């Protein structure tokens, strides 16, 4: 029987306090999950959440997955409604997701008090909806909500819901610890009992939350007792204390139990992928996160330091490279020489024989990362540093004399603001002064820079800013914090990303904007004029 690694970052993970993913965010996260190698990506609840309906529609044309299959989440039909007439069920079909995961009540108290119907009608709702969707050619998975609580209260009633789902054609029933109150011993015992009750051919799954700090252990206990479908989220995102951290669960199963579960690039890319996803969710990564956290293989104890040098295996539970992490990695996994060499090769620079260049680049990247830069999502800025160290110079397309930004609003709440920016620079032997207007200070700066450079480098006119992200790095100091800006620019065919860091948004943006112009001109084969 195959094993399912089922990711619900985009659906249950998105329930996390403070998380608000746009459709574009979801379309950017899904390929990272696919790259990690999960088998299933639960994209959302089409029909119930308008953004999720849009996600599935856009996914059909914009998303190409190599390993994973998309799953649409939804509910069983409403009480007393014919399944084929239930618009929410129809929306699941319309999403065209090959897998539909239905949440079904499996705690009789919830059936009676929240759903306000009978156990019989609940079983009919499960059976009808599973049968209907399976009949339409969908693979149907069922999330048995509040299963463990329900089973401890009324074993027969909860088992009946599981059996109704299987009998109607469900491929998987995932037993959910919806309120997160379980402990591993309870989960292991209950899964073993359910396994015996439904027989060995049924595929059971587990969906755990971390309210007792045991989401990972509860998932492992279920797998040890016979579950072969595990649900979780990257970085353990989710409501309250979060869902089971899928990377931790899979790393334990692969590295400790020797199972091979992920397709694609798998665990060796886990740290990079987890961090890239936290950039997209804009939720600060948790340094103490198992396996992929920035501190996960960082050693401080004086007791250990000398011995670690002699024999690192005595002081770490796994080789950090197995999850794309690094023992000395206080900054990031990018900063190691080996990964910089690899990255250089990816960009067409063979640094294998050039120890000096490699050392200089590594040191510059380490210094920059210590100051808040990140190159995981800013290949173009990284390549500019690499080129500069290889060739000994930075292409001199222009020299900046000064810039100024003014934003002004007259009147009270609701009035319009006016933003303008003036850039003074030298290019092509001239001194150019250009003023741009925009709907905000960064937009105005971008306009002014583009207009100024366009006089000498008309190639720049086809560049367009398509993504702009801001991150405040040290949140304890309020507006005194460091600001990091990541921007993505396209020339209509390809896009590139640059990073800027500064004491405020405009300085950081200016750095990313100028890097982007330089990189774009380089890429277009334009020589400094």
- Residues between 371 and 390 with contacts to its own copies, criterion CB under 8 A: 374, 376-377
**Which position among 2, 61, 412, 494 is part of the footprint of its own copies (CB under 8 A)?**
412
- Residues between 68 and 107 with contacts to its own copies, criterion CB under 8 A: none
**Nearer of residues 43 and 180 to its own copies, judged by Cβ:** 180
- Residues between 137 and 156 with contacts to its own copies, criterion CB under 8 A: 146
CA dihedral defined by 234, 239, 241, 243, rounded to 10 degrees?
A: -40
Strand partners, 229: 4
Mark residues 266-285: x for contact with its own copies by CB under 8 A, - for none: ----------------x-x-
Q: Which residue has the tokens 């108290």?
A: 109
Strands 229-232 and 4-7: parallel
**Which position among 2, 61, 64, 410 is part of the footprint of its own copies (CB under 8 A)?**
410
- Residues between 213 and 232 with contacts to its own copies, criterion CB under 8 A: 213-218, 220-221, 224
Q: Determine the Cα–Cα distance for residues 82 and 63; give it in Å rounded to an integer.
A: 33
Q: Determine the Cα–Cα distance for residues 38 and 31; give it in Å rounded to an integer.
A: 10
Query: Taking Cα atoms as reference points, which of 301, 482, 510 lies closest to residue 423?
Result: 510
- Residues between 23 and 42 with contacts to its own copies, criterion CB under 8 A: 24-25
Query: Taking Cα atoms as reference points, which of 217, 215, 214, 219 lies closest to residue 204?
Result: 219
**Which position among 2, 17, 348, 493 is part of the footprint of its own copies (CB under 8 A)?**
17
**Nearer of residues 98 and 268 to its own copies, judged by Cβ:** 268
E-strand ranges in 8-88 read: 40-44, 69-75
- Residues between 413 and 432 with contacts to its own copies, criterion CB under 8 A: 413, 417, 419
User: Contact between 354 and its own copies (CB under 8 A)?
Assistant: no
Q: How far is the CB of 80 from its own copies (least distance, A)?
A: 18
- Residues between 103 and 142 with contacts to its own copies, criterion CB under 8 A: 109-110, 113-114
Residue 229 DSSP code: E
User: Contact between 47 and its own copies (CB under 8 A)?
Assistant: no
Cα→Cα distances 302→293, 305, 307, 308, 312, Å? 21, 5, 10, 10, 14
E-strand ranges in 194-249 read: 203-207, 229-232
**Which position among 6, 56, 291, 457 is part of the footprint of its own copies (CB under 8 A)?**
291
Helix (H, G, I), strand (E, B) or coil at 439: coil
Which tokens sit at 211?
A: 């309210």
- Residues between 301 and 320 with contacts to its own copies, criterion CB under 8 A: 301, 307, 310-311, 314-318
**Which position among 120, 319, 503, 529 is part of the footprint of its own copies (CB under 8 A)?**
503
Residue 472 DSSP code: E
Give Cα 426 to chain centroid, integer Å: 41
Q: How far is the CB of 41 from its own copies (least distance, A)?
A: 20
User: Contact between 263 and its own copies (CB under 8 A)?
Assistant: no
**Nearer of residues 74 and 344 to its own copies, judged by Cβ:** 74
Q: How far is the CB of 265 from its own copies (least distance, A)?
A: 22
Q: How far is the CB of 490 from its own copies (least distance, A)?
A: 10
Helix (H, G, I), strand (E, B) or coil at 180: coil
Q: Determine the Cα–Cα distance for residues 303 and 301; give it in Å rounded to an integer.
A: 5
User: Contact between 506 and its own copies (CB under 8 A)?
Assistant: yes
**Nearer of residues 198 and 380 to its own copies, judged by Cβ:** 380
Q: How far is the CB of 431 from its own copies (least distance, A)?
A: 14
**Which position among 32, 192, 322, 481 is part of the footprint of its own copies (CB under 8 A)?**
481
Instruction: Provide the greatest CA pair distance for the chain.
Output: 85
User: Contact between 57 and its own copies (CB under 8 A)?
Assistant: no
User: Contact between 528 and its own copies (CB under 8 A)?
Assistant: no
Query: Which are the contacts of 408, defined by CB distance < 8 A and separation ≥ 6?
Result: 417, 418, 419
């Amino acid at each position: 029987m195959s094993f399912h690694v089922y990711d619900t970052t985009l659906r249950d993970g998105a329930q996390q306090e403070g998380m608000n993913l746009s459709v574009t965010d979801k379309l950017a996260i899904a390929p990272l999950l696919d790259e990690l190698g999960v088998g299933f990506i639960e994209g959302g609840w089409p029909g119930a959440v308008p953004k999720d309906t849009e996600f599935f529609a856009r996914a059909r044309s914009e998303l190409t997955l190599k390993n994973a299959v998309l799953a649409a989440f939804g509910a069983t039909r409403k009480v007393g409604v014919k399944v084929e007439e239930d618009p929410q069920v129809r929306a699941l079909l319309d999403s065209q997701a090959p897998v539909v995961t239905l949440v079904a009540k499996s705690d009789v108290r919830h059936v009676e008090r929240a759903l306000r119907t009978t156990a019989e009608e609940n079983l009919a709702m499960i059976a009808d909806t599973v049968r209907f969707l399976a009949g339409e050619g969908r693979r149907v998975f069922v999330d048995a909500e509040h299963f463990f609580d329900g089973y401890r209260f009324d074993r027969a009633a909860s088992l009946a819901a599981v059996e109704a789902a299987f009998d109607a054609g469900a491929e998987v029933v995932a037993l959910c610890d919806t309120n997160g109150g379980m402990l591993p011993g309870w989960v292991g015992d209950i899964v073993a009992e359910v396994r015996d009750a439904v027989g060995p051919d049924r595929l059971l799954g587990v969906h755990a939350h971390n309210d007792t700090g045991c989401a990972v252990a509860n998932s492992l206990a279920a797998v040890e007792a016979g579950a072969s479908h595990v649900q979780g989220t990257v970085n353990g995102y989710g409501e309250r204390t979060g869902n089971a951290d899928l990377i931790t669960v899979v790393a334990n199963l692969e590295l400790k139990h020797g199972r091979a579960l992920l397709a694609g690039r798998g665990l060796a890319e886990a740290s990079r992928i987890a961090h890239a996803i936290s950039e997209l969710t804009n939720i600060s990564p948790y340094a103490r996160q198992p396996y992929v956290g920035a501190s996960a293989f960082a050693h401080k104890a004086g007791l250990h330091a000398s011995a670690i040098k002699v024999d690192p295996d005595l002081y770490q539970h796994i080789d950090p490279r197995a999850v794309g992490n690094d023992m000395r990695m206080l900054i990031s996994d990018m900063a190691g020489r080996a990964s910089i060499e690899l990255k250089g090769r990816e960009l067409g620079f063979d640094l294998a024989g050039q120890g000096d260049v490699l050392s200089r680049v590594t040191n510059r990247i380490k210094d920059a990362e210590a100051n808040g830069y990140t190159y995981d999502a800013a290949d173009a800025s990284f390549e500019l540093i690499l080129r500069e160290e290889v060739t000994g110079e930075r292409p001199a397309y222009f020299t900046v004399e000064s810039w100024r930004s003014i934003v002004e609003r007259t009147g009270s709440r609701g009035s319009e603001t006016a933003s303008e920016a003036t850039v003074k620079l030298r290019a092509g032997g001239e001194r150019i002064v250009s003023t741009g207007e925009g709907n905000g200070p960064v937009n105005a700066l971008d306009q002014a820079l583009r207009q100024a450079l366009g006089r000498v480098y008309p190639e720049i006119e086809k560049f367009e800013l398509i993504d702009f992200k801001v991150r405040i790095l040290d949140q304890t100091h309020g507006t005194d914090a460091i600001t990091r800006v990541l921007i993505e620019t396209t020339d209509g065919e390809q896009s590139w990303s640059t990073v800027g860091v500064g004491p405020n948004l405009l300085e950081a943006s200016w750095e990313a904007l100028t890097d982007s112009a330089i990189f774009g001109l380089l890429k277009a084969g334009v020589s400094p004029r």
